[in-house]
Amino acid sequence: MKAKHLWAGALMLALLLPGYCWAQGIPMVNVTGSGKDTQYSLSLQLLALMTTLTLLPSLLLMMTSFVRIIIVMSILRQALGTGQTPPNNVLVGISLFLTLFIMSPVLSDIYTNAAVPYMENGMKFDKALAAAEAPLRAFMVKQTREDDIGLFMQMARKADVSDATQVPFTTLVPAFITSELKSAFTIGFLIYIPFVVIDLIVASVLMSMGMAMLSPMMISMPFKLMLFVLVDGWSLIMASLAASFVY
């Protein structure tokens, strides 16, 4: 398997390997205890499925919009000063479903042009792998800065390419992650500024009233929550995040 197909191959394995195992009719593995007559059977189809499922968290982090969304949500929670509200599980759930919403065209393309032809029409695995790589690569290239691609191409000591389709996947993935981190912290900075202004105003008022011992955060948090609700903050944040991935 070529190096540029390694990362897309992991995603294709998660989608196609169980169907491949079923089509090939891999037999059961029987384990017989030496001291007893008890036998233990394990389906290789199930084993392959469980193995590929362990790759899904890495795929979710490396090649989708999840990183940008979860970082922005975490920064928003810190800016509001609400501690652990919303809890981590809620933030991860919001980020996950928003990721599925943003990535649905890519996933639909992979399923239609790669998974279905491979499982039903007998498409060769390498062709199905290339078909699955194309929409994922297009998404990642659109979100990746050219400077980041050039940096990792230089670090890998690879020659410059004239087309983004020629960038190896092993180079594109870290460049994509770096760009996502930059974008996430840029959005987080813009979100943080209004809440910092509220904190500064409240702190100044408390100082002028001689109440320096009173925590400004305790007073400013209700005002920040009120501002966030009045401007329909959750809808604005989610709509802005989804719009930032238009490609």
Q: Which pTM was predicted?
A: 0.72
What is the token pair recorded at 68? 């940008």
Strand segments, DSSP code E, in the chain are 29-32, 39-42
Give residue limits of the domains in the chain. Answer: 58-243
Q: What's the confidence (pLDDT) of residue 201?
A: 84
Q: Of 194, 227, 177, 169, whose CA–CA distance to 70 is shortest?
A: 177
Q: Provide the terminal-to-terminal Cα distance of the chain, rounded to the nearest Å.
A: 29
Predicted local distance difference test score (pLDDT) of residue 199: 82
The pLDDT tens digits along the chain (247 residues) read 444 444 455 445 444 444 444 444 444 445 555 555 444 445 555 666 677 677 777 776 778 888 899 999 999 888 888 878 888 888 888 888 998 888 888 888 888 888 777 777 777 777 877 888 888 888 888 888 888 888 888 887 777 777 777 788 788 888 889 999 999 999 989 988 888 888 888 888 877 777 767 677 777 788 888 888 888 888 888 888 888 887 6
**Contact residues for 160 (Cβ-Cβ < 8 A; gap 6+):** 150, 153
* DSSP-assigned letter for residue 32: E
Q: How far is it, in rounded angstroms, from Cα 106 to Cα 69?
A: 17
User: Closest Cα to residue 68, out of 236, 224, 195, 238?
Assistant: 238
In this predicted structure, what is the pLDDT of residue 48? Answer: 63
Contact between 128 and 111 (Cβ < 8 Å): no
Cis peptide before 135 (omega within 30 of 0): no
Report yes or no: 59 and 110 within 8 Å, Cβ to Cβ: no
Would you state the structure tokens that stand for residue 86, as one six-digit string? 């919303």
pLDDT at position 169, please? 79
pLDDT at 6: 45
Orientation of helix 6-24 relative to helix 44-53, angle to 10° = 160
HSE-up (13 A, CA, CB side) for residue 245: 26
Q: Which residues contact 48 (CB under 8 A, 6 or more apart)?
A: 17, 18, 21
Is residue 39 helix, strand or coil? strand
The CA R_g of the chain, rounded to the nearest whole Å, is 24
3-class DSSP state of 40: strand
